[in-house]
Amino acid sequence: MESSSATAGVSTRREATRQKLYEAAVTLIAEQGFSATTVDEIAERAGVAKGTVYYNFASKSVLFEELLRHGVGLLTASLREAAEATARAGGGKVDALDAMIRAGLVFIDRYPAFTQLYVAELWRTNRAWQSTLMVVRQQAVAVVEGVLREGVENGEFSDEIDVPLTASALVGMVLVAALDWQSFQPERSLDDVHAALSRLLQGRVSGRNG
């Protein structure tokens, strides 16, 4: 009987198909938006039949929700890793923040379509996947907030800073700068962009010339 076998509980074949669908969906939805993207398009770009989409996902919305979870999971892991690496290396919280800025830039550089799609959907209201979006947002922002809070506790940051708001502002700074970089100055290097944001973070904007 049992034919599925496979090493894990999930067949590798199916997982590969889902991955192809994620990749197709992410670029199409980033370009056109969720509603303007048809299931037929996603299937065609992924090189599978339309029925396969519905074999693997309950609906178009569910495909999108799982895509969101998948992508933000990668980002969150990357941010956390960056923060922990600086901690292991004995760096301070400013270094951790700086490393997370870089991790954010690397992520956006690697998955620009996902980032576009995420930004485009995050602040909408009355959408089916609203709760999913809130959860994954919180996971990512919490990493930044955590570092800020620890920095306040150990005296590295002023205890007058507003942790949630500052975290949002930092995320926004990286997000918008990176998206503009991708869209309007794609020829620039990541290091270049990182340096500009580092300068801003450390308040080295004001100051004398040359």
Give the span between the Cα atoms of 53 and 59, in whole angstroms.
8
- In the structure encoding, which two tokens stand for residue 167, read together? 């975290």
**Sign of the Cα pseudo-torsion (37, 75, 137, 122, in order):** negative
CB of 3 to DNA, least distance (A): 5
Instruction: Please choose, out of 12-20, 76-84, 137-145, 175-183, the segment that lies near DNA by the rule CB under 7 A.
Output: 12-20
With CB under 7 A as the rule, give the number of residues binding DNA. Answer: 28
The entry of a copy of itself, DNA, none near residue 49 (CB within 5 to 8 angstroms by kind) is: DNA
- For position 31 contacting DNA by CB under 7 A, the verdict is no
CB of 56 to a copy of itself, least distance (A): 24
Please list, in sequence order, all residues whose beta carbon lies within 8 angstroms of the beta carbon of residue 47, skipping any fewer than 6 positions away: 20
DSSP for 45-59, please give it: HHTS-HHHHHHHSSS
- For position 52 contacting a copy of itself by CB under 8 A, the verdict is no
**Sign of the Cα pseudo-torsion (90, 91, 96, 101, in order):** negative
CB of 119 to DNA, least distance (A): 21
Within 10 Å of residue 54's Cβ, how many Cβ atoms? 15
Q: State which of positions 123-142 bind a copy of itself (CB under 8 A).
A: 123-127
* Residue 5, phi-psi category: left (phi > 0), alpha (psi -120 to 50), beta (remainder): left
Q: List C-alpha distances in Å: 94 to 42, 59, 128, 176, 198.
A: 42, 43, 38, 21, 10
The entry of DNA, a copy of itself, none near residue 2 (CB within 5 to 8 angstroms by kind) is: DNA
- In the bound state with a copy of itself, the residue whose beta carbon lies nearer, of 11 and 168, is 168
Task: Choose which of 22, 34, 57, 64 interacts with a copy of itself (CB under 8 A).
Answer: 34
Give the span between the Cα atoms of 199 and 206, in whole angstroms.
10
The entry of a copy of itself, DNA, none near residue 84 (CB within 5 to 8 angstroms by kind) is: none
- For position 159 contacting DNA by CB under 7 A, the verdict is no
- Positions touching DNA (CB under 7 A) are 1-5, 10-11, 13-14, 16-17, 35, 37-40, 47-52, 54-56, 59-61
